[in-house]
Amino acid sequence: MPIHFKQVTIVGVGLIGGSLGMILKQQELADHVIGVGRTIENLELAIKLGAIDRYEQEPKLAMPGTDLVILATPIESYAGHLKSWGGLLTEGAIVSDVGSVKGPLVEQAESLMPPGVHFVGAHPIAGKEKSGAGAASPDLYQNALCLLTPTENTDAEALRKVQEMWEAAGSTVRSIDPFVHDWILGAVSHLPHVAAFALMNALSELQQHTKGDVDLLNFSGGGLRDTTRIAASSPEMWRDIFLWNKDNLIVMIEALEKQLGKMKSFIQQHDEAGIEHEIAKAREARQRLK
C-alpha cells in the first residue's frame, strides 16, 4: 500500500525541509503540509514556492493531527523541541529528522518519545551551500543516498513509511547503525568541512601579512573554489555537528594533522620522492571517489 500522510509538520523550512515539503505536495504524499519556523518572510516564501500549505511560528500549534514530524533544525535544538511538543502527538505518529549526526541524538530522541509515538533517524546526504526555502528544489534528493539509522527500539511500520517516503523523493535508502553512521560521516563529511573552514581562515590570516593593496582571493582559480565551496555552510548547523560528533572528529582531525605534518616535513627536507609519493597516493584515492 503506497504511503500517505494526513498531516506532515516540517520543523525548519530551509533547503532540506523545504525540498521535502515540495516533494510531499507535488507527489500528493500528504493531505496537508505545515511549516514551522522563526522567520515570517521565509515561511511565506515557502508557501509561494509550494513547499508548505500553511505555517506556524509556535510549534505546539502545528502538532495536533500530525502523523509525521520532520525535524530539520540544528541538531542541538532537537531535545528542546521534543520536550516542548512531543506530548501533543497522538499514538501512531512518527518523528523523523534529517540530521548529520545520529548516535547520541537517536538515543536522546528515543528516550523522549511519548508512548505510542515512534522515532526514525534519517540522514539524506544531499544539499548545497545555499540555505533557506528559496534554495529548495523537488529534485534535491534525486539519486542521493539517504541513510536510515534504526535501533532495536524502532517500530517496523514507521521505518517502512519513512523509507518509502525517501524512495519517493528519488533517494537510494540504506539502513546503518547510528554510531557507525557517525564514524563514516565524520570522515567523509565532517572532516572535509573542518578542512575547508580552516583553509579559508588560514588564507584570511595570510592576507594580513600580504604586502601591498592585494586581495589574495582575487587571484584564486577553480581549485580554491572547488576545495572550499562547503566553507560557505551554516555556522550554527556545523557548530552543532562538530560538538555532537566530537569524539570521532578529534581522531579524524589528528589524522589530518599527521598527513599535513608529513607533507610539511617532506617539503622542508626537499624530499622530492616523498612529496611525489604522497601526491600519487592521494591521486589514486581520489580516483576511487564516486
**Residue entry with cell 500500500:** 1
When the pLDDT of each residue in the chain is averaged and rounded to a whole number, the result is 95
Burial (Cβ within 10 Å: 0-12, 13-18, ≥19) of residue 151: middle
Comparison of pLDDT for 212 and 249, the residue scoring more: 249
Q: Where along the chain do its domains lie?
A: 5-176, 180-287
Does residue 169 have a pLDDT over 70? yes
> Looking at residue 24, what is its pLDDT?
97
- Cβ–Cβ < 8 Å for 244, 141: no
Segment 58-79, tens digit of pLDDT: 999 999 999 999 999 999 999 9
Does residue 1 have a pLDDT over 70? no
Does residue 2 have a pLDDT over 80? no
Q: Examine domains 5-176 and 180-287 and report if their fold is the same.
A: no
Is residue 16 very low, low, confident or very high in pLDDT (cuts 50, 70, 90)? Answer: very high
Helix (H/G/I), strand (E/B), else coil: 10: strand
**Radius of gyration for the alpha carbons in the chain, expressed in angstroms and rounded:** 21
Is residue 214 very low, low, confident or very high in pLDDT (cuts 50, 70, 90)? Answer: confident
Average pLDDT over residues 178-194: 97
> Looking at residue 234, what is its pLDDT?
86
**DSSP 8-state secondary structure symbol assigned to residue 52:** -
> Looking at residue 129, what is its pLDDT?
67
Domain boundaries 5-176, CATH class: alpha beta
Burial (Cβ within 10 Å: 0-12, 13-18, ≥19) of residue 281: exposed
Q: What are 154-160's contacts with CB under 8 Å, separation 24+?
A: 154/118, 154/119, 154/120, 155/118, 155/120, 158/94, 158/118, 158/119, 158/120, 159/120
Fold of domain 180-287: 6-phosphogluconate dehydrogenase C-terminal fold (1.10.3660)
Is residue 220 very low, low, confident or very high in pLDDT (cuts 50, 70, 90)? Answer: confident
The three cell numbers locating residue 34: 505545515
Between vectors from CA 197 to CA 193 and to CA 198, what angle results, nearest 5°? Answer: 115
Pairing of strands 145-148, 122-125: antiparallel
> Looking at residue 199, what is its pLDDT?
96
Segment 117-160, tens digit of pLDDT: 999 999 999 877 677 888 889 999 999 999 999 999 999 999 99
